[in-house]
Amino acid sequence: MTEESPPASESVARAEEPLDRWIRLAVIVAASLALLGAALAIVDYAFIPPDDALRHAATAASDNPYHEVVLFDEAVPAEDSTPGWHAVLRAMHQWAGVDRFGLVSFGVLFFFAVFAVTPLFLLRRPEAWAAVLLLAVVINPGYPLRLALGRPFMLSSTAVLVFVLVWQRLVDDPRSRSALALCMGAAVIGTWLHSTWFLLFAAPLASVLTGRWKASAALLGAVTAGVLVGAVLTLQPFTHLTYNVVHVWKTMGTTDAVFRVSELRPFTGDGPFTAFALMLLVAWATLPELKSFSLRHVGVVTALGGWVLAFSASRFWTDLGLPALLAVATLLLQRVLEARMPSRAPSRAVFVAAIVVALHLAISANHGRRWESSPLPRIAWLMDNPEEAEPWLPGEGGVVYSPEMRVFYSMYLVYPDRSWRYILGPEQGIMPREDLNILHDIKDRGSWDAYQPWVDKLRPQDRLIVDAAGRDPPEYDGMEVLPLPHGLAIVKPSAGEPHAPVAGAVSR
């Protein structure tokens, strides 16, 4: 195995000519503007992500505590899993007057920028990251959609980028203040604003396998300190650190893989990026400037470990392994650029210009109207016809029964202060056990009969909301049904006395 003996440019910063510093800064500015411009273009399309970004915005705008929004199983603590991020959004809502839709857009911009822009400042050749990110978008055209979900998991992915890109500084000097500060800072922010703080330890634990004991101890110590500080910033450190472990444990332990959210299901190997990794291996074996890069680098170990573990839950790859692979590719490309393209060469200006323009266009392009997507049209009739919709909404103290998480996300965003609760919130693992079994039966059978246990529970203030797209709406004795445009149907107990239903309602 080749030992690491990297060029000085990849470890501690060496002295630079003033002109070279200005050139580097110009590249950072150009790439940052291209990326931020792409993010603004996405928001300008009024893009609304499909899941947690809506929940975060609604929680910040709501006066209801979270346990009055979602029904929890008695064995699961009824806690807010991301109090730090919600505190930030709540401050923006209360002090700056940003509405909940503006909060969604802010989340999209913020997390996209953190992930896409941060690495530029950690490299001597920032265009290497821009080029690798462009390759990632070309390999997987859907990758920008994940980057624009507006969810705090991007902080875990960004932390992996930071740990991998500054690793060589710790190898050269385990006491490097800049490297330790960067690693600790990434852990502080990742713990304060996100729930799965334990994912931050993926790269530090992988670093143990590199054999660089001092660097590994330094990284592990910095991340541990950062996690503790981040937990304190949530103002509920013990709860924050324990609740999220219990939550994930129960989700993975009580929910079959087929019923989990997509990121917790096993993946199938991600063929395109696996092929990309193999191409990097071929480049490492053939290009002389890459010979000194060790395959025991923390980025390589983290990427390989994430790929293997993703066969149990794909999040190990998407949040950890893939960012590590992209960081390794960036370090390799940086070596090639420094060896073959002088800093002041005119060809560098051409290369940078081509990369940043292509990157901006590739991310901002509205392929298939992807940036016009929104879960809200499914409940648009309720929003556009408030007086007619009111009798069909749950009443005070009611429960929304639905097997669709999209119902929770969209309705919670539109009605954050209503006093009803949702049987299914952001994760099946927190549901009451009885209702979880009913949900699984619905998913297994798919027939309207499978909903009968929930129908039997309906009180006058409760509602059952189902996806009836492509088939006739359900029929239940003593129930009224309102089919909505775009496939949803609302089921409620009959009022007793016959009455004229609102447009589209079917009385049984």
DSSP letters for 302-332: HHHHHHHHTTT-THIIIIIIHHHHHHHHHHH
In degrees to the nearest 10, what's the CA dihedral of 376, 379, 380, 384?
-130
Instruction: Name the pTM for this structure.
Output: 0.91
Residue 9's pLDDT is: 41
Residue among 324, 53, 334, 273 at smallest CA distance from 142? 273
pLDDT score of 498 more than 70: no
Q: What percent of the chain has pLDDT over 70?
A: 91
> Three-class SS of residue 198?
helix
Q: How far apart are CA 157 and CA 227, in angstroms?
A: 15
Residue 369 has a CB neighbour count (10 Å cut-off) of 8
Q: How far apart are CA 27 and CA 40, in angstroms?
A: 20
Per-residue model confidence as pLDDT tens digits over 414-463: 999 999 999 999 888 788 999 999 999 999 998 999 999 999 999 999 99
Q: What percent of the chain has pLDDT over 90?
A: 79
pLDDT score of 257 more than 80: no
Residue 495's pLDDT is: 77
Residue 398's pLDDT is: 96
> Three-class SS of residue 507?
strand
Who's near 123: CB < 8 A, 6+ residues apart? 129, 165, 330, 334
Residue 73's pLDDT is: 86
CA distances 332 to 23, 67, 304, Å, are: 21, 48, 16
Residue 496's pLDDT is: 55
Phi, psi dihedrals of residue 128, rounded to the nearest 5° = -60, -45
For 357-379, what is the mean pLDDT?
93
pLDDT score of 6 more than 80: no
Least confident of 13-27, 40-54, 161-175: 13-27
Domain boundaries, the chain: 22-151+345-374, 153-340, 376-507
Residue 81's pLDDT is: 83
Per-residue model confidence as pLDDT tens digits over 172-225: 999 999 999 999 999 999 999 998 899 999 999 999 999 999 999 999 999 999
Yes or no: say if 385 and 28 are a contact pair by the CB < 8 Å rule: no
Instruction: Output Rg (C-alpha) for the chain, integer angstroms.
Output: 25
CA distances 265 to 60, 308, 412, 467, Å, are: 29, 13, 25, 22
pLDDT bucket at 59, cuts 50 / 70 / 90? very high
